[in-house]
């Protein structure tokens, strides 16, 4: 699904799930949801609270207004998204059994 907001963690812990498996843990100061806003394919992972959390959210339309005037923010968000995509692809590759053909459900 297409994301509608970006989230900033003020306190607590969140788990990042990729195909139902926990692949990362996020905490205070971390951001999530940026990939779903910046990618035409929408969300790439699920994020669930692992403890009580306090989050700040910024709606996508508001984020795009900010990004229009802040080139450095755009660059950093893109770099963060690209790094997460590389990390997620490497994790998925590591989870595949050796010799598993492409397209076979896990």
pLDDT digits (tens, 9 = 90+) for 65-89: 776 666 677 777 778 777 777 776 7
List of E strands, the chain: 5-11, 14-18, 21-26, 31-32, 46-49, 54-59
Please tell me the distance from the alpha carbon of residue 84 to that of residue 29, in angstroms, as a whole number. 16
17 φ, ψ to 5°? -115, 130
Domain boundaries, the chain: 5-95
Task: Flag whether pLDDT at 8 surpasses 80.
Answer: yes
Q: Is domain 5-95 classified as CATH 2.60.120.10? A: yes
Task: Flag whether pLDDT at 22 surpasses 70.
Answer: yes
Owner of token pair 């306190």: 11
Q: Which residue has the higher pLDDT, 85 or 30?
A: 30
Task: Flag whether pLDDT at 1 surpasses 60.
Answer: no
**So what's the pLDDT on residue 26?**
92
Task: Flag whether pLDDT at 97 surpasses 70.
Answer: no
Task: Flag whether pLDDT at 53 surpasses 70.
Answer: yes
């Amino acid at each position: 699904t297409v994301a509608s907001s970006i989230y900033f963690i003020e306190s607590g812990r969140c788990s990042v799930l990729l195909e139902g498996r926990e692949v990362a843990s996020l905490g205070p100061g971390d951001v999530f949801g940026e990939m779903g806003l910046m990618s035409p394919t929408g969300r790439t992972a699920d994020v669930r609270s692992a403890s009580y959390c306090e989050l700040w959210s910024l709606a996508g339309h508001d984020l795009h207004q900010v990004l229009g005037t802040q080139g450095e923010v755009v660059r950093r968000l893109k770099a963060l998204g690209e790094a997460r995509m590389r990390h997620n692809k490497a994790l998925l590759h590591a989870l595949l059994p050796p010799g598993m053909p492409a397209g076979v459900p896990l």
